[in-house]
Structure 1
Amino acid sequence: MNLRYKLFTAFLGLIIIPLFILGMIMFFVTYNSIEKKYSQQSEYSLKAISYSISGVFKDMDNVTDNGIATSVFHMALSADDPSKQDLTDAEQLSLNNSQRNFRSLLYNHPSISYAFLYNFGGKGNSEIVSIFNKEDFRPLPYNTFKSSELYQEVMELNGVPRWVAPHEYPELTGTEPVFTQIRLIKELSYFQNIGILVVQVKNWEFESIFRNLKIGGSDQKVSFMLVNDNGMILFDPDQKLDGQNFYDFTPRNIAFGEGFQSHRTQFNGQKSILSVYHLKDYPWSLVSVTSWDSLSREVTVFARWFVIVILLCLLAAVIFNLFFMNRIAGSIAVIVRFMRRVEDGDLTSRVEEKGNDELTMLARGVNDLMDKINSLFSRVHLEQRRKNQAEMRVLQAQIKPHFLFNTLESINVLAVQNEGRKVSEMVYRLAGILRISIQDRDEITLEEEITHLRNYLDIQKFRFEDVFDYEIEVPEELLGCGMLKLTLQPLVENSIQHGFEGIDYTGRIKVSVWEERGNLLLRVEDNGLGMNPAQLSMFQYMAGEAAEPALEAGQQPLHQERRGLGLRSVADRIRIEYGERYGIFICSAPGMGTVIQCVIPKYGQGEDHHAKGIIG
């Protein structure tokens, strides 16, 4: 994944996605807390409504209690009883006065629709005593009422008012949505049951109560209703669900019991919150139905705005990525490609400098750094070339005086013995060695290197005729390849001076050259004494000028040429000239001889091997 996608992913992962997750958590927390908070609010509202309804009922209870206390109902029943018509004038006047006062009290309550009495002692038309007339309403006959369960309840209450809601007993209360109070009337002197009072109250005050109490304001769709314990909707201020079964509108089975309960469920096909509060002292429950959409409207609006903000942030991220991140990532990508070219060896490439910001300063700094690197590389390369030339001069001077003296002494002995041909041969060989060693060229052909090596070996053969034999195998097609001069001679010299010292058998040196994977492999093998691990570790030329390891008891130190000359010098020169991939490799063991293999690149004489990227 490139940088621009990483930056864009980081922007999404660290800003957009956490913001989205935080918003979703807030949304769900708020969404789920609506029900709890609204349930608390609806509980307070339903309790307030229940207190208001109970106040209306208690106010009417006080009115009828006043009528009982003043014997208005007793006198009214006595007035319609033929057996009690012998009232004195004073008693009649008192009765009329009490009736006027009670009627005046009833008129002060315009919500009262109708009031009448069932007379226990009456017969025929005297069974029902009208107190407050009502058009188009005929009371239920006393005998019919007496056979109902409601009559039994009223008798068992023994004077305590029994309220009947609309639609509970339509045969008694009619079809209008009125509340009816039914209570037993007693004669106060003897506490004898003399009749039953029926007072109907209009729903004006109830509608006013429900209209003035709206949960959460007018923007919320809230409806109230009064439901009995059997699930019948007794009173609906909107007059839509009166008399219907509550369970027909919701799939939830709600048990109307004591206390408060709230549920989020379906009602009349809409997702709603149902809050139920059971009225004290009455077999009814107040129910509020609130549309969930109206409650969650603010949260939904918040969610919409949140989605819009997230989309805007995402759009801003895309724009930011296109116009800013692309330039930053593109500039960095250009620098990365430049560095890759540098890794591949192209030290001449430069980054284009555009603009005047930090990225331009970075590109300018990289270019300046490459200029300094090139300058340092040129200086290092120059120093390496000078070191190489110095080491070459050392190798050129490696023909030691004792070698020359021994060679000249051998020539002198041959001259005394009149071996003119051998003298001439040795002088010729020595001249060839000196010619190649002292010339200014650092590189010669493989053929010239082999000629130099033969001259050296032949001279050594004249000196140590019975010590060793040699063999050289070089394909003719490789003789024109170029190489550093004085490469093979130090390797062979190592075998003669160290491998054959003190042996009691004829030594053998084999020099072979072949091509493999575009490289020249030069191998020098001998059957000499070999080297132990301690001696072999001295040729770790990659370790630089490390200290010599301690020798085991009885071991002889190697020739002093191992430092800076001989094998180490050859290895260093190859590594400096051709790169880290090239050099010499030594394999040896005590009594098993030594194999020295040299790897150099294959190229023709005069060909610039540096142009081929040989230098590492």
Structure 2
Amino acid sequence: MTFQQKMITAFLLFVLLPIMILGYISNRISTDTLQKTISSQTVQTLRAVDSNVMTALNEVHHFSDYLLSSGDLQSFLMSHEEESIIDLYNRRQAIAGIMYDNAEVERILLYSWSGELLYQSNDRNESEWSLSSKAFMEEMKQAAGAPVWLGPSPEAKHPFQRESGFQLIHGRLINDVNTLDPIGYMVLSIKLEVLDDIFASSGPIPSTELLVNNKGEIIYSVNRKWIGRRMDTASFEKVRSSEDGYMLDQWNGEKSLLTFRPSDFKLSGNENVWLVSIKPWDALSGDIDYIRNTTVVLGLFAILAAVLFNFLYLRRIAGFIQLMSRKMKEAEKGDLSVRMRAYPLKELNGLSNRFNEMIRRIGELILQIKTEEEKSRQAEFKVLQQQINPHFLYNTLESINALAAMNGQKDISNMTINLGRLLRISINGKYEVSISQEINHVKSYLEIQQIRFEHLFTYSIEVEDTMMNELVLKLILQPLVENSINHAFHEEKKGCIHIIGTRNGSTGYFYVQDTGKGFPRNVLERLYEKRDGTGKNGHGIRNVHERLQLYYGNRYGMVICSSEKGTTIKVSFPLAERDG
């Protein structure tokens, strides 16, 4: 996979994918919130519907109470066998008149205590309306005069519903108003239209409200074709196992929001009834569809942005990185002539310039290293050329010393002895010597210079005894003393060189002080340049400072202070107890 393809993939993963996930989560949250909000409102509506249903059924209760307490009905049930045909006809006409006052009642059936049909309010064959449902009759007995309801059903075994229409069946036991003894049964067939006005949908969103019994059968719907239809088993189980609730399910071939709650209405056998409201989900989810469509549009826009980003910007960046990678590989192979071209984009052009500068600087450093190596090689060659057998030098100096002593040349003898001491330390191949050896070396140098310059200066050395056995880099004091002799004194005014050695914890210090005329500011600046290695002369001072830092680290080195009263050079170095 190329870098460009990786960048596009990363863009899609880190931009497009979060947008899609955010859209999905927003859609789910919006869907759940909408379901909860709509269902909460619908439950309130179902409570009001249930209250109205109970009000309508209570009116039927009041009507049946009126019938049961009617003197004509009581007399009809108690004496219909003894009365004349004319009296019986008159009582039946009176009952028919009572029913005429209540249009919701489609039919009245009166039964004797034994279950024999005594009266019906239409002309159907009486044998078809015999009280054949023993369970219904027994329940009316147990209710002791309280209403018992049967819901409509398309099943042929329904005892009171054998026509194409559906009715609610209201049954009650009839007691003698005087003795309270049971004397018969009354069954009212109630038209379902009594509930139609209550369940009629008048809101902006189409809705279907149902009454469902304990078996999941629809016992009432404004659309009569649903009566008797069973709800889906899984859906109804959720309805029956909850109080108020809602769910998304398929209804009549479309996704719908079902909201349900138990009704106060009870059927025969104390069977529960549920109110169910069904609303098409498409009619509710307009805002959610907007969120979903917006997410899709954003996704398409992100893809388009990725394409434009790739075409307008990413290809340039990828091309730049690939070219730089190729140039770097060429530089790794040793071709330091490679260069990046200029770019119109400021950021890319800046990187290109820095790359070119880096390659140029590397070339300069390599050239500098080669130059230094060549200088080092030449220096080593010169050292090899100038090497002399030390024993020959020592023997020669001893001969000179003997001749000087024989001829009374004390100064020559002292110079020869001190020169031998200098040579012994200089030729010694070790990097470090003890401080006592370094002090003896500088003493020998000072003795020689005193004779040479005819005692132009005096010197003193004070070093703490605890430092004498410590090790220090050799030949660091002699170049500094030489600098003082060469620059500080003149014949008209003699001076003094004072060397102090002290320690502070694990750090040792040498102070080389002179009482000479000091250095002007410009000369001191040049000395600092020599110390830093930028001057053309002063190799001794530069050599001391560089050797200290190379050997001990940048924490150590040399500091120069000068005034008209003299010059002080401070040298710092680490101290550690060592053997030998």
Normalising by structure 2, we get a TM-score of: 0.54
Between the aligned partners of 2:341 and 2:323, the Cα distance in structure 1 is 9
CA 1:335–1:120 in structure 2 vs 1: closer, same or farther (change >3 Å)?
Answer: closer
Corresponding residue SS for 2:227: coil
Maintained 8 Å contact 1:263/1:275? yes
Between the aligned partners of 1:198 and 1:388, the Cα distance in structure 2 is 125
Maintained 8 Å contact 1:236/1:242? yes
Between the aligned partners of 2:240 and 2:254, the Cα distance in structure 1 is 21
Q: Partner of 2:119 in structure 1?
A: 129
Q: Partner of 1:173 in structure 2?
A: 161
Which of 94, 102, 105 aligns to 2:98? It is 102
Corresponding residue SS for 1:129: strand
Q: Partner of 1:321 in structure 2?
A: 310
TM-aligned CA deviation for residue 320 of structure 1: 0.7
Q: Partner of 1:52 in structure 2?
A: 52
1:277 aligns with 2:267: no
TM-aligned CA deviation for residue 252 of structure 1: 6.5
TM-aligned CA deviation for residue 313 of structure 1: 0.5
Between the aligned partners of 2:246 and 2:136, the Cα distance in structure 1 is 31
What letter corresponds to residue 105 of structure 1 in structure 2? D
TM-aligned CA deviation for residue 201 of structure 1: 1.6
For the aligned residue pairs, the C-alpha RMSD in angstroms reads: 5.4
Between the aligned partners of 1:311 and 1:4, the Cα distance in structure 2 is 20
Corresponding residue SS for 1:201: strand
What letter corresponds to residue 280 of structure 1 in structure 2? D
Maintained 8 Å contact 1:331/1:359? no
TM-aligned CA deviation for residue 203 of structure 1: 1.7
Between the aligned partners of 2:252 and 2:353, the Cα distance in structure 1 is 75
Corresponding residue SS for 2:264: coil
Matches within 5 A, 1:287-298: 287-288=276-277
Maintained 8 Å contact 1:43/1:277? yes
Between the aligned partners of 2:313 and 2:256, the Cα distance in structure 1 is 50
TM-aligned CA deviation for residue 198 of structure 1: 2.0
CA 1:330–1:139 in structure 2 vs 1: closer, same or farther (change >3 Å)?
Answer: farther
Maintained 8 Å contact 2:61/2:147? yes
CA 1:501–1:35 in structure 2 vs 1: closer, same or farther (change >3 Å)?
Answer: farther
Matches within 5 A, 1:237-386: 237-243=222-228, 245-246=230-231, 250=234, 253=237, 256=240, 259-262=243-246, 275-282=259-266, 283=271, 284-288=273-277, 299=288, 302-331=291-320, 334=323, 349-353=338-342, 355=344, 357-359=345-347, 362=350, 366=354
Corresponding residue SS for 1:113: strand
Between the aligned partners of 1:258 and 1:174, the Cα distance in structure 2 is 34
Between the aligned partners of 2:71 and 2:134, the Cα distance in structure 1 is 27
Matches within 5 A, 1:429-508: 488-494=381-387, 496-497=389-390
Q: Partner of 1:226 in structure 2?
A: 211
Maintained 8 Å contact 1:275/1:287? yes
Deviation track 1:377-425 (CA, whole Å, cap 9, x = no partner) reads: 59x989998x999x8xxxxxxxxxxxxxxxxxxxxxxxxxxxxxxxxxx
Deviation track 1:489-539 (CA, whole Å, cap 9, x = no partner) reads: 42253473599968xxxxxxxxxxxxxxxxxxxxxxxxxx9733527xxxx
TM-aligned CA deviation for residue 178 of structure 1: 0.7
Normalising by structure 1, we get a TM-score of: 0.51
CA 1:368–1:148 in structure 2 vs 1: closer, same or farther (change >3 Å)?
Answer: closer
What letter corresponds to residue 264 of structure 2 in structure 1? K
Percent identical among aligned pairs is 20
Which consecutive residues of structure 1, in runs of 5 or more, have no partner in the other structure?
392-482, 503-528, 536-549, 564-616
Maintained 8 Å contact 1:31/1:299? yes
Deviation track 1:332-374 (CA, whole Å, cap 9, x = no partner) reads: 554665567667766655443354x524763785599689969
Judge which range, 232-241 or 47-56, deviates more: 232-241
TM-aligned CA deviation for residue 166 of structure 1: 0.9
Q: Partner of 1:18 in structure 2?
A: 18
Between the aligned partners of 1:498 and 1:345, the Cα distance in structure 2 is 49
Deviation track 1:19-48 (CA, whole Å, cap 9, x = no partner) reads: 233223223333445554454344334333
Which of 140, 150, 166 aligns to 2:136? It is 150
Aligned residues between the structures: 409
TM-aligned CA deviation for residue 15 of structure 1: 3.0
CA 1:332–1:359 in structure 2 vs 1: closer, same or farther (change >3 Å)?
Answer: farther
Between the aligned partners of 2:12 and 2:353, the Cα distance in structure 1 is 32
Which of 107, 115, 132 aligns to 1:114? It is 107
Maintained 8 Å contact 1:251/1:266? no
Between the aligned partners of 2:368 and 2:214, the Cα distance in structure 1 is 108
Maintained 8 Å contact 2:205/2:284? no
Maintained 8 Å contact 1:78/1:84? no
Maintained 8 Å contact 1:119/1:129? no
Q: Partner of 1:62 in structure 2?
A: 62
Between the aligned partners of 2:10 and 2:111, the Cα distance in structure 1 is 87
Q: Partner of 2:429 in structure 1?
A: 531
Between the aligned partners of 1:13 and 1:498, the Cα distance in structure 2 is 82
Deviation track 1:541-575 (CA, whole Å, cap 9, x = no partner) reads: xxxxxxxxx99689996799999xxxxxxxxxxxx
Between the aligned partners of 2:45 and 2:229, the Cα distance in structure 1 is 24
Maintained 8 Å contact 2:201/2:208? no
Between the aligned partners of 1:342 and 1:99, the Cα distance in structure 2 is 117
Between the aligned partners of 2:36 and 2:361, the Cα distance in structure 1 is 73
Q: Partner of 1:508 in structure 2?
A: none
CA 1:21–1:384 in structure 2 vs 1: closer, same or farther (change >3 Å)?
Answer: same
Between the aligned partners of 1:494 and 1:285, the Cα distance in structure 2 is 119
Maintained 8 Å contact 1:250/1:266? no
Corresponding residue SS for 1:309: helix
Deviation track 1:288-327 (CA, whole Å, cap 9, x = no partner) reads: 4566677667646643542342132023113212221222
CA 1:351–1:368 in structure 2 vs 1: closer, same or farther (change >3 Å)?
Answer: closer
Q: Partner of 1:596 in structure 2?
A: none
Which consecutive residues of structure 2, in runs of 5 or more, have no partner in the other structure?
396-426, 434-466, 481-580
What letter corresponds to residue 171 of structure 1 in structure 2? P
Corresponding residue SS for 1:330: helix
